[in-house]
Amino acid sequence: MKFLKTALYIILPLLLLNSCRDYVEVEQVGNNRILKYTSDYRALANSYNDMTSSGGIYLIANADVEFPTTYQNGVSTIWANSYTWQDRIYDPSQGDSDWIGLYKAIYYSNVILDGVMSSQKGTDAEKKEIYAEAFVHRAFAYLQLVNTYGPQFDPASANSEKAVPILLKPELFSSLDRSTVAQVYDQIISDLNTALANGIQNDPQFNVLPSKRAVYALLARTYLLMGQYQLSLENAEKALQMQNGLIDLKTFASGYSYPVLIQNPEVIFSKTLLNTYNRAPLSPDLLSSFGTNDLRYDYYTIAGNIAISPTYTGRGFGIATYSNTNGINVGVSVPEMYLIAAECYARGGQPQKAVDYLNILRAKRFKTGTAYSVTAATNKEALDLVLTERQKEFIGRGFRWFDQRRLNLDPTYQKTYSRVFKGQTYTLAPNSDGYVFPINQNYIDLNPELGK
């Protein structure tokens, strides 16, 4: 049965057509406008805000965040519901910015894939470059969606649980039947491999544009989330062969020396959290894990009473405040590739290789003349070190949520989380429904197949 995509796209074509006036040349065809020239599609592909915004509601739910008591009365209902793992996040009058933004990027990608190769006044090479990029943008959006609104991928199961709709055409009318977790992951991997097959560029001018190393890095992240560690390792190593530079925090005078996102040499492919999630209060347990010599405490976090409302006692993630940047990067990066490779080596029986990779990263994160090296005698010791390092390196980005989800599959790392919010205690058990964000009820009411 076909339904009008009221919840997803009824406004998106209007946004696309209206905003086209600002950055693409369009022609009237009857009562419609169309993209005609290759430069139109390049402008659409370069629509920074639309293509890089990547949600982030899960950041409020993850174990990195802890609301001080005095802060709790000032948060929105959306934050409160996410923080306490509710089965309904949004009020009837509210939209889901994560869902809308990610499907908007998918819609734009599908517009490009549907039309760029037949566009005018562009070379075949230009068209193919834009075409390949769109697959990467779409794959990233689906990876975010399936890990926000779908159950965790389990390598020991068929992954037949319903996740999110897969939309591959820029159609105004389409079924919104939800695809399974397995189907969404298959689509992600297919899109990334198709980008490689179409000669995705090696060295884009800016890190907001997809590249070959970005594809390898996204495959590394995807396979890690799938528990396919050898494939994850192979792709992480390929990405590191193409880009492996790290920022040395010892060279900074303060957190305000941190580079802007578009010039950050660690960023392989820039995607950003919605700005609303910047500066969420961080857990005291997490903050205390840094120790006195780890520069990330000073350069990644900032006091909660600086340039934010409501203020709070404690610290929040600081990079987006210290740096005149466009957001918090949740795209793939060099540090992530080192940590993925380290984890895969630890899981693959090579603990020394794992700590070697950890120490490459840690050497750039500690004060001059202080000890930064770690050692591990067993695979378990190496894996524990990697998981702890991920928490500190990825602080304030929400990656902890994805780690919590996947680690729930291992009894060794399962953990029950509890929070007190406005005097009431809330609990998140391993593999509970709280690990899957509900689809906005408004969207289900308008598109009933989303609720099936």
Which tokens is 83 given?
């923080």
Q: Is residue 94 scored above 70 in pLDDT? A: yes
Closest by CA position to 233, among listed 386, 387, 338:
338
CB 248 within 8 A of CB 368: no
Return the pLDDT at 452: 79
Angle of CA points 147, 153, 155, to nearest 5°: 160
**DSSP-based three-state secondary structure for 122:** coil
Residue 275 is assigned to a structural domain of this protein:
no
Side-chain half-sphere CA neighbours of 309 within 13 A:
0
Angle between helices 97-115 and 38-45 (to 10 degrees): 160
> Averaged over 88-104, what is the pLDDT?
94
Single out the residue of 14, 18, 36, 38 nearest to residue 27, CA to CA.
Answer: 36
Q: What is the pLDDT of residue 171?
A: 83
User: In this model, does residue 93 exceed pLDDT 50?
Assistant: yes
Domain that holds residue 13: 3-249+330-451
Give the chain's domain count: 1
The mean pLDDT value for 50-59 works out to: 91
Judged by DSSP in three states, 140 sits in helix
pLDDT of 330-369, one tens digit each?
999 999 999 999 999 999 999 999 999 999 999 999 999 9
Q: In the structure, how many helices (H) and strands (E) does the chain have?
A: 19, 8
Q: Would you call 397 exposed, middle or buried from its count of C-beta atoms within 10 A (0-12, 13-18, 19+)?
A: buried
For residue 300, tell me if it sits in a domain.
no
Cis before residue 310, ω within 30 degrees of 0? yes
pLDDT band at 12, cuts 50/70/90? very low
User: Which uninterrupted H or E stretch holds 54?
Assistant: none
Query: Residue 315 falls within a domain, yes or no?
Result: no
Greatest pairwise CA separation for the chain in angstroms: 71
CATH number at residue 95: 1.25.40.390
In a domain, 157, yes or no: yes
Q: How far apart are the first and last CA of the chain?
A: 13
Average pLDDT, the chain: 90
Q: What pLDDT is attached to residue 311?
A: 84
**Residue 305 within any structural domain of the chain:** no
Radius of gyration (C-alpha) of the chain in whole angstroms: 22
For 226, half-sphere exposure in the C-beta direction (CA atoms, 13 angstrom radius) is: 23
d(CA 343, CA 148): 23
**Is there a domain that residue 316 lies in?**
no
d(CA 358, CA 352): 10
Count of other CB atoms within 10 angstroms of residue 109: 27
pLDDT of residue 10: 32
Q: Which of 6-20, 249-263, 356-370 has the lowest mean pLDDT?
A: 6-20
312 in any annotated domain? no
Cα(447)–Cα(452) distance, rounded to whole angstroms? 10
Q: Does residue 323 contact residue 258 with C-beta atoms inside 8 Å?
A: yes
Torsional class of 422: left (φ above 0), alpha (ψ -120 to 50), beta (otherwise): left
- Burial call 407-439: b when 16+ CB within 10 Å, e when fewer: bbbeeeeeeebebeeeeeeeebebeeebbbbbb
User: Rounded distance, CA 378 to CA 200, Å?
Assistant: 40
Inside any domain, residue 308: no
Find tokens 């500066």 and name the residue.
279
The reported pTM is 0.92
The pLDDT of residue 125 is: 96
Beta-carbon contacts of residue 150 (< 8 Å; ≥ 6 apart): 161, 162, 163, 164, 181, 184, 436
Alpha helices, DSSP H, located in 74-211 = 77-83, 97-115, 124-149, 181-197
User: Given this model, what pLDDT does residue 8 score?
Assistant: 38
Q: Give the contacts of 18 (CB within 8 A, at least 6 positions apart).
A: none
244: its two tokens:
């492996």
